[in-house]
Amino acid sequence: MMQTTTRTFIIFIITFMTIQCTEDHSVSEEDITVTQELSIGTDSLDVKDHEIFSFIVDIVTDQKNRMYVADAREFRVRVYDEEGSFERYIGKEGSGPGEFQDISTLFINQRKQLVVLDPEQNRVGVFSLEGKFLSMHNLPLTGVRKIKQMPDGRYILLGYHEKKLIHIVDSSFSSIETSLGPVSSILSTGNRLEEMWVRYQPGSILVLAQDVILFSPSIYTGSLYKYVLKNNQQWQVADTIKGYSRHDNPVTFSSYSQAERVDAPFRLPEGRFAAQFHARSSGLFWNGQDTFMHFTIQERSSDDGLDFIAKKFSREGEPLYYSVLDSIQPPNKIIHEVNGNSVYLFDREETPLLRVLRME
């Protein structure tokens, strides 16, 4: 069912000491009005499969504003047009060319091709946007969570490999050229549960230029980190951009029974444990050619409730404003894509829905 009204995690690890920041009072707060443009999904049983969602793991959009959607219960990609009408499936379950045993992330590359990551088979399938299978590539490392692309055509793979998380590979995914970011350099608590979480949800990156990459860890300490490729061909942190954080301590780990709120459960041989996130990054996204946005979920100091907070930056990293998005209530909303002023998210509050919201 569609209602038309007025609608992720790659990590880049720091090789220098992390600087924690508190609230940035130098940037003004602005009110952003969020209105719903589109809603797809229903809890009715007497409908076709493409009208029901279980858990959306990723959404990407193309230049025609078509939506490519990966749902956890399926081994194929759904395609909806700008109005939310279902168009087609891409791929199917299996182990052959163009087939999947799992899907964890989607990406549209510079050639306007859909890249689909299958972590179970440790490979990517490449398709035309119309659904034609083009090629398949085995990955040079396991545990990849996200894919981005550099202007020269090489790819960045986010995933835990030999205690590092960021890996630049060639344009055919055949070999690792450079690995960046030891996991140990971003851990803020020293708790081994934090490293377990980082392996699963490391963070997000934006490629600002061929030699400039911006990174935000998923456990958000208050800073964004700008990596620059220096003349010695080494990636280094050239700047830290102050984000917006209400908390010096972004996460609390405790036994499951003592947790005030369970955001992530852990089961170990010695018992059950839980993480309560006080500040967590929800991703970095372009929302224009020269501006990007960083979304976070942060606890309120007054009542420990949660807010979605958006902060807008220029391409150079200059903060423009921040806004508390009162109409998007976490934690049951997951932002997967931003296209201009439209935000594409998975809403699992009640009936699982794909929502398209507009920020103005």
Distance CA 278, CA 42 (A): 32
By percentage, how much of the chain surpasses pLDDT 70? 92
Average pLDDT, stretch 291-315? 91
As a whole number, the mean pLDDT across the chain is 88
Alpha-carbon gap, residue 39 to 41, rounded angstroms: 7
Interval 291-295 mean pLDDT: 95
Tokens 């344009």: give the residue.
Answer: 171
Percent of residues, the chain, with pLDDT higher than 90: 69
Of residues 18 and 236, more confidently modeled: 236
For residue 304, the model assigns a pLDDT of 75
Helix (H, G, I), strand (E, B) or coil at 279: strand
- Spell out the alpha helix ranges (H) of the chain: 192-200
The span from the CA of 360 to the CA of 351, in Å, is: 26
Q: Are 89 and 67 in contact (CB under 8 A)?
A: no
What is the 3-state secondary structure of 57-95?
Answer: EEEEECCCCCEEEEECCCCCEEEECCCCCEEEEECEECC
Give the closest residue to 256 by CA, choosing from 240, 270, 236: 270
What average pLDDT does the segment 277-288 reach? 93
What is the four-CA torsion angle of 173, 176, 181, 184, rounded to 10 degrees?
Answer: 110
Torsion of CA 183, 186, 191, 192, to 10 degrees: -10
pLDDT of residue 169: 97
> How many Cα neighbours within 13 Å face the side chain of 167?
26
**Model pTM score:** 0.89
For residue 68, pLDDT beyond 60 = yes
Angle made by CA atoms 11, 356, 294, in degrees to the nearest 5? 30
Report d(CA 197, CA 266) in Å as an integer: 9
Q: How confident is the model at residue 307 (pLDDT cuts 50, 70, 90)?
A: very high
- Would residue 197 be called left, alpha or beta, if left means φ above 0 and alpha means ψ between -120 and 50 degrees? alpha
**Does pLDDT of 4 surpass 90?**
no
Which tokens in the block code for residue 64?
Answer: 């025609």
- pLDDT of 93: 97
- Asked if the model's pLDDT at residue 11 lies above 70, the reply is no
Predicted confidence (pLDDT) per residue in 164-183, tens digit = 888 999 999 999 999 887 88
Q: Is the pLDDT of residue 306 over 50?
A: yes
In this predicted model, what pLDDT tens digit does every residue of 224-282 receive, in sequence order?
888 889 887 888 888 888 878 888 899 999 999 999 999 999 999 999 999 999 999 99
pLDDT digits (tens, 9 = 90+) for 69-98: 999 999 999 999 999 999 999 999 999 999
Range of the domain at 342: 2-359
Q: What is the pLDDT of residue 26?
A: 64
| pLDDT the model gives residue 16 | 27
pLDDT at res. 282: 93
Whole-number pLDDT of residue 12:
27
How far, in Å, CA of 195 to CA of 193, rounded?
A: 5
Exposure letters 303-335 (e unless 16+ CB within 10 A, then b) = eeebbbbbbbbebebebeebbbbeebebeebbb
pLDDT confidence of 61, banded at 50, 70, 90? very high
pLDDT on residue 23: 44
| 45 CB-near residues (< 8 Å, 6+ apart) | none
Which band of pLDDT confidence, cut at 50, 70 and 90, is reported for residue 197?
very high
pLDDT of the residue at 177: 94
**263 vs 259: CA distance, rounded Å:** 9
Nearest partner of 21 among 192, 248, 227, 197, judged by Cα: 248
CATH number at residue 298: 2.120.10.30
Report pLDDT digits (tens) over 118-143. 999 999 999 999 999 999 999 999 99
Q: Please list, residue by residue across 140-150, b when 16 or more beta carbons sit within 10 angstroms of its beta carbon and e when fewer do.
A: bbebbbbbbbb
- CA gap 177, 346 in Å, rounded: 35
Residue 327 has pLDDT above 80, yes or no: no
Rg (C-alpha) for the chain, rounded Å, is 20
Report the domain count for the chain: 1
pLDDT given for residue 141 in this prediction: 96
pLDDT for 8 equals 30
Q: What's the mean pLDDT in 190-216?
A: 91
